[in-house]
Amino acid sequence: MQDRDAGHSGLLGFFAEVSAFDQMVRALVEARLPKGFQWSQFAVLNHLFLAGEGQTPVALARTFEVPKTSMTHTLIVLEKHGLVRIEPNPKDGRSKLVWLTPKGRTLRSVAMTALGPDLDALAARVDVQGLAPLRAAMFGLRQVMETLRDA
């Protein structure tokens, strides 16, 4: 039982660190975004840029672990600002696909440029190459958690 409690404490302690880190990253990014834009909106733009466009709102909601209604709201705001376009899925008339607009790409680029000095300061103080094993371990943990979620 003590080993189990230690394992639980270890996992919860790790999750607390990840959560604190997440909050710091969100605050940093939001401080560099144009006024009125939020982390969740930037995250969607960045994800579409990095992972590929033409994703459904349902797929995006699943990626970000948010309810479909929350993702729909975020996408409506992004579309209203001309940062994404939402079009019918030609393969399935019931679903939609999300695409970045040139304005959305520009906003992401501006935000990334604004983050440059902060990322440079971090890179100067952290062994970035040393983060690779941590990133791999976190990716593995995420896969396990996704499997458990979907079971």
How do residues 31-90 score in pLDDT, each as one tens digit? 999 999 999 999 999 999 999 999 999 999 999 999 999 999 999 999 999 999 999 999
How large is the average pLDDT for residues 2-28?
A: 89
Predicted confidence at residue 93, as pLDDT, reads: 80
CB 111 within 8 A of CB 41: no
pTM of the shown model: 0.85
Q: How far apart are the first and last CA of the chain?
A: 26
**C-alpha to C-alpha distance for 97 and 54, rounded to whole angstroms:** 5
Tokens 């983060």 correspond to 131
Domains of the chain: 2-150 (1.10.10.10)
